[in-house]
Amino acid sequence: MSLFITGTDTGVGKTHIAARLLHLLRASGIRCAGMKPICCGDRRDAEMLLAAGSDCVAIDEVNPVWLKTPAAPIVGTLMEKVTIDIEQILSAFHALQERVEYVIVEGTGGWLVPIRSDYFVSDLAVAMKLPVLVVAQNRLGCLNHAALTVQSVCAYRLRCAGLVLNSTEVASDIAILTNADILKRILNVPLLAGLGENLTELPMDWRLMLDRLHNHRVKVIQGCKEIEHNSGESAPRPLGEGDGIGVA
């Protein structure tokens, strides 16, 4: 099974969440790998994912495209006069899927960061057919950014697995104190707490989220097999984890 992690913005804690999820999955005995399809600037995010996952992969498998320009991918390609090969990224992703039980894919920046003028991070998630976990920073402005991102994920007909509310500040102002409650009121997706360094196993809400994704995938595959059996013809390839609109 696989999961695509995106953010409401850059710097909201996607890499931390992805690495902690990998660490806790691995601690439970699950073979897993992280993937950062495109790195811009340095490779620190990919190196963190590599260190957190199982030992069977190399850095170039975790990060198949490395742009040296510390800006959006479209800027890097223009500055460095290169073209990003989406098929190369997808091939690397499918190769990882064959080798581990879980692939945790971390997108570059936010959900609508452009990779090229006609292709965005969101399009890559669609091509991978993955459910999407949105990460937001608990701060003023979070409500708007989280709602826009979750709604956009659903508009792309991808399954939104949940929203992670990262907290790095002491809850001292009214926005930080009330964001979680308001998000539960306005969004119909699971709200998950961040994965702190003190955790030794996945919290129950995270395990339930992953179980829902697994069960949904099983139902989709079974449905396709039934269609194939009843029709006597090959059923369309299942959309897998990315099937359906909206909520987990």
For 203-217, give one letter per residue: b (16+ CB within 10 A) or e.
eeebeebbebbeebb
* Whether residue 36 lies in the annotated active site: yes
H-state helical runs in 134-203: 142-155, 174-186
By three-state DSSP, how is residue 210 classified? Answer: helix
Catalytic residue among 36, 81, 129, 225: 36
Tokens found for residue 186? 């306005």
Closest CA to 214 of 153, 131, 141: 131
For tokens 């990262």, the residue is 166
For tokens 């931390």, the residue is 16
For tokens 């929203």, the residue is 163
Catalytic site residues? Answer: 36
